[in-house]
Amino acid sequence: MLDMDWTALRAELPVTERWAYLDHAAVAPLTRRALEAMREWADDLTANGLVNERRWLTRIDEVRSLAARLIGADPLDVAFVKNTSEGIGIVAEGFPWQSGDNVVIAEEEYPANQYPWLNLGGRGVEVRRIASRPDGRLWIDDIVAAFDARTRLLSLSWVEFASGFRNDLDALGALCRARGIAFFVDAIQGLGVFPLDVGKTPIDFLAADGHKWLLGPEGAGLLWVRREWIERLRPIDIGWNSVVGARDFTKIDLQLKPHAGRYESGSLNVAGITALGGSLEWLLEIGIDKVAGRVLELTDHLCRRVAERQADLTVFSSRRPGAASGIVSLAYADPARVGAVVRDCRANGIIINKRAGRVRVSPHCYNSVEEIDRLFGYL
Ligand SMILES: Cc1ncc(COP(=O)(O)O)c(C=O)c1O
């Protein structure tokens, strides 16, 4: 990545002053822009109350446009939600199920993408959970084998949270399309690192909170719904802001907005969305292609070093092109070491995490090769 000065970009992440922060798959630090945006909003609200409300409403729509740009969507099809779970719930609860239908998910999925579907049991919807192969991969053949005439929806993470396996959204989406199966993507572990264009990739729904690779705060997330689904989903969580004339408080007319705006039932998390906007601007200025290249460069470097060691530590994640992600899962021959390694790293200024009995390392584009080398010294 010769064309970017990644070292200069580190100034945007104050966290770099103290930590080698390699845990973006958990909760990310904020960019300086996100912090400043949030401060500006808080200062204004403190000094002026609602006097400048219009300015913040405009800002929310600007952030909506940034989010839409990130995924190649129409801003009207993007709703702000409080987290990934809320986005999944809107679709899981609103989907036009019939008793006897089934939904296919992954067995090793993060719980956010399991419970909303499992909760449909009472409505006669069967949940089919696909096991990963021993190398942490979800095999497309296994997924297809679970489909039948009553399969209505496939819901997967773009990137699996524990193994770091990146699902092939284009291939899976095409298979779903061909069978009339809807495709929901929990995008939280991929959005901000890898490019996505919903104009080309055949998915139907996407949700992600902003607190991981988007470098935003918790509680400010996105839900994207392909327009043709809007009228087919039973509207859930409808409120004053869901209707066409939302700002005319004296008129009651239940005419829902004909786009994703209907899911924003009431007042929004202005602080969070504003902050998310700061980080989105920064990422889009860099370019998501470049972010992806850099994250893969750093994670490849880590995997090479681990492979060279050839001892007690192995790379669990698939590093096959297309399947590799920003998450590197490392397995110790003795899993009891994992906790101590994570603690030891933290004591020495390096933030990583553990998942599924393995060490999980998740660098972002502003991290450095030197930081990865420093981490390696503690593994
Ligand atoms: C795949 C996946 N989905 C969702 C979440 C978080 O869900 P929420 O945004 O509802 O807190 C995580 C967090 O680790 C995750 O890894």
| 3-state SS class at 81 | strand
Pocket test residue of 86, 186, 191 for ligand 1, highest count of atoms within 8 A of CB: 186
pLDDT score for 43: 98
Question: Other CB atoms closer than 10 Å to residue 183's CB: what's the count?
Answer: 23
Fold of 38-285: Aspartate Aminotransferase; domain 2 (3.40.640)
| CATH of the domain spanning 6-22+287-376 | 3.90.1150.10
pLDDT score for 3: 73
Q: Using a 6 Å cutoff on CB, does residue 31 contact ligand 1?
A: no
pTM, 2 dp = 0.97
Q: Are 227 and 74 contacting, i.e. CB atoms less than 8 angstroms apart?
A: yes
The DSSP symbol for 23 reads B
Distance from residue 188's CA to the centre of ligand 1 (Å):
6
pLDDT score for 279: 98
Counting as low any pLDDT under 70, the low residues of the chain are: 1-2, 310
Interval 3-56: pLDDT, tens: 789 999 999 999 999 999 999 999 999 999 999 999 999 999 999 999 999 999
* Atom 16 of ligand 1: nearest residue by CA position: 161
- Quote helix, strand, coil % in the chain, to nearest 5: 40, 15, 40
> What's phi and psi for 71, nearest 5 deg?
-120, 10
Domain ranges, ordered by start, for the chain = 6-22+287-376, 38-285
Distance from residue 157's CA to the centre of ligand 1 (Å):
9
pLDDT score for 291: 98
Q: Which of 62, 63, 122, 115 is nearest to 97 (CA)?
A: 122
Interval 116-141: pLDDT, tens: 999 999 999 999 999 999 877 899 99
CA–CA dist 213, 203 (Å, integer):
20
